[in-house]
């Protein structure tokens, strides 16, 4: 089965704790993305990576960190510096070689900070 | 990336065609129009994209006006499973081809 997996589906953390969200893809895609979605809102880009060992900030990168040590994996760490971490987090990937890079999304992780 | 404007919500009768409009009057010549949809609490699902010509696939048809300032997504025979938020996005291949999602159109298909 090819696709993007995110785990866990639901995650609870205490305020002040860092938490890492997993994103894995076996589509052999070059680029990976992290988005955040708040209730009733569209998606906002946190970070993206076009190639291994390289990544760029998106529109709302403050309070988040990422790594891209392997092509298949793009974990997102929500740090204690993120003021409102409770949200639905979505990971996506795309092939970079085509003129139009359709992004394919994972099922998402719903993070609740208590 | 160009901004898009969509109606916040619309209803559609099951079995009828659903026509979802999108305005993108500031679109540039090399920007594509993408449509995604998001069923409640799931990740967005790619539907279709186009540049100038009308496009059709197994899910939907995309009609782009000649001046490219607006487009319409057509779901030919809406089913209850098509109830979702539909996002119209314009984007070009730059900066990782990041997609800017607005509020979308909440489509409710009624029996």
Do A94 and B97 lie within an 8 Å CB cutoff? yes
Do B101 and A35 lie within an 8 Å CB cutoff? yes
User: Which residues of chain A have a Cβ shorter than 8 Å from any chain B Cβ?
Assistant: 4, 31, 33, 35, 41-45, 48-50, 56, 58, 88, 90, 92, 94, 96, 99-108, 110
**pLDDT tens-digit readout, B60-94:** 999 999 999 999 999 999 999 999 999 999 887 65
Cis peptide before A8, with omega less than 30 degrees from 0? yes
- Outline where chain A has alpha helix (H): none
B91 is written with which tokens? Answer: 């984007």
Do A102 and B46 lie within an 8 Å CB cutoff? yes
Do A103 and B46 lie within an 8 Å CB cutoff? yes
In residues, how long is chain A?
114
Question: What sign does the CA torsion over A62, B31, A25, A38 have?
Answer: positive
The helix/strand/coil state of B35 is: strand
Do B103 and A42 lie within an 8 Å CB cutoff? yes
Instruction: State how far residue A50 is from chain B, nearest Cα, in angstroms.
Output: 6
Q: Would you say A82 and A64 are in contact if contact means Cβ atoms under 8 Å apart? A: yes
Q: Mutating which of A49, A94, A102 best tests the B interface, going by the most B Cβ atoms within 10 A? A: A102
Q: Is A26 left (phi over 0), alpha (psi -120 to 50) or beta?
A: alpha
The helix/strand/coil state of A108 is: coil
The helix/strand/coil state of A60 is: coil
Asked if B35 reaches chain A (Cβ–Cβ under 8 Å), the answer is: no
The helix/strand/coil state of B65 is: coil
* CA distances in angstroms from A108 to A79, A92, B14, B94, listed in the order given: 18, 9, 29, 25
Q: pLDDT tens digits, chain A, 114 residues: what are they?
A: 569 999 899 999 998 899 999 999 999 999 999 999 998 888 999 999 989 999 999 999 999 999 999 999 999 999 988 889 999 999 999 887 665 668 899 999 999 998
């Amino acid at each position: 089965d090819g696709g993007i997996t995110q785990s866990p589906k639901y995650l609870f953390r205490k305020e002040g704790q860092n938490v890492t969200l997993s994103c894995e893809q076996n589509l052999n895609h070059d680029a990976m993305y992290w988005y955040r979605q708040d209730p009733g809102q569209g998606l906002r880009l946190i970070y993206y990576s076009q190639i291994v060992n390289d990544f760029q900030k998106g529109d709302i990168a403050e309070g988040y960190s990422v790594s891209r040590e392997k092509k298949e994996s793009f974990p997102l760490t929500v740090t204690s510096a993120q003021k409102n971490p409770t949200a639905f987090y979505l990971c996506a990937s795309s092939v970079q070689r085509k003129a139009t890079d359709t992004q394919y999304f994972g099922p998402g992780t719903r993070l609740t900070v208590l | 990336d160009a901004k898009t404007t969509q109606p916040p919500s619309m209803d559609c009768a099951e079995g009828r065609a659903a026509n979802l409009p999108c305005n993108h009057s500031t679109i540039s010549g090399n920007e594509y129009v993408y449509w995604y949809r998001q069923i409640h609490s799931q990740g967005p699902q790619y539907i279709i994209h186009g540049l100038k010509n009308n496009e059709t696939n197994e899910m939907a048809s995309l009609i782009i006006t000649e001046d490219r300032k607006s487009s319409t997504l057509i779901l030919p025979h809406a089913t209850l499973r098509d109830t979702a938020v539909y996002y119209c996005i314009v984007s070009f291949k730059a900066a990782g081809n990041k997609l800017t999602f607005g509020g979308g159109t909440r489509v409710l298909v009624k029996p």
